[in-house]
Amino acid sequence: MQDSPPITVRPWYVSLIFALIAVAALLGGVWLYARIQNPFPYYGTTYTPPQTAPAFSGSDQDSRAYTFAPQGKTTALFFGFTHCPTICPLTLTYLDKVRGRLSPAQQKDFQIVFVSIDPERDSPAQLKSYVGFFGTSPASKMLGVNVPEPQLAAVARSYGAGYSRADTGSKTEYQMNHTTATYLIDRRGQLRLLWDYTQLSNLERVQADIQEVMR
């Protein structure tokens, strides 16, 4: 009598594991493919490829020496001035609202930095009152930075930001013409994208951009 060749029966759970691995690999592949074909639909205008955000130094709203070293936190950077009646208040209001939509952990890793393009009038004390009004979270303080001229001009230029005095007919009073972009810089210090102030009212999409960059 001869024994029939042994039939190896694969236990059912091993088959199940193989099946799950196969499905996971397939889904992963599809996801990867989709991501490569169709990267995250950013709302802001992206820097492709990302660029290193230029560092700069000045004083913060507490008159302490401040150097912007983007490493560590995701940063929304805006160049504005405190005599600005509309765009700057609007921008800071929206950025603060978006901050409030992030999770507590994300808020800890997020900062809003306001650099004055009017350092002559925007003293640290002036900036303190300004960012203290628009930044409503004590845990995630809004920063106001005074960078004196002529360094400011170089800093602005390095970000592609522009500003110029616009006289309103008086010697002591003037308004500033300025670029109105907010720059999003990731925690590694890479400039990832910018939003125009007219885009910021779409809090949901601005938030999604920030959270994507934080990943």
Partner 1 sequence: MKMPAASARMATQLAPSVQVSGLYVAAVPSVATESAAYLTLKNTGKTALILTGVSSPAARVGMLMTMKRMGAPGNALDMTAMKMVTDFALRPGQSLTFAPSGAHLMLSRLTGPLSVVGQTVPITLNFRGGAVLRLAAPVRRLQ
List residues binding partner 1 (CB under 8 A): 44-45, 82-87, 89-90, 93, 125-126, 129-130, 132-134, 160-164, 166, 168, 173, 175, 177-181, 194-199
Q: Closer CB to partner 1, residue 102 or residue 194?
A: 194
What is the closest distance, in whole angstroms, from the C-beta atom of residue 45 to partner 1 in the complex?
5
**In b/e form, how buried is each residue of 82-93, taking b as 16+ CB within 10 angstroms?**
bbbeebbebbbe
CB 83 within 8 A of CB 175: yes
Q: Closer CB to partner 1, residue 161 or residue 185?
A: 161
What is the closest distance, in whole angstroms, from the C-beta atom of residue 50 to partner 1 in the complex?
16
What is the closest distance, in whole angstroms, from the C-beta atom of residue 65 to partner 1 in the complex?
22
Type of residue at 103? S
In the three-class reduction of DSSP (H, G, I as helix; E, B as strand; rest coil), residue 122 is classed as coil
What is the closest distance, in whole angstroms, from the C-beta atom of residue 176 to partner 1 in the complex?
9
Q: Closer CB to partner 1, residue 203 or residue 208?
A: 203
Sign, CA dihedral 190-141-132-149, equals negative
Measuring CA to CA, which residue among 68, 146, 79, 135 is closest to residue 107? 135
DSSP letter for 143, please: E
What is the closest distance, in whole angstroms, from the C-beta atom of residue 37 to partner 1 in the complex?
25
Give the CA distances from residue 86 to residues 91, 134, 139, 168, 188, in Å, rounded to whole numbers and listed in that order.
9, 13, 26, 16, 32
Q: How long a stretch of residues is the chain?
A: 215
The distance of Cα 1 from the centroid of its chain, to the nearest Å, equals 79
Q: Closer CB to partner 1, residue 56 or residue 163?
A: 163
Q: Closer CB to partner 1, residue 110 or residue 134?
A: 134
Q: Closer CB to partner 1, residue 73 or residue 128?
A: 128
What is the closest distance, in whole angstroms, from the C-beta atom of residue 90 to partner 1 in the complex?
4
- Report the C-alpha gap between 64 and 58 in whole angstroms: 8
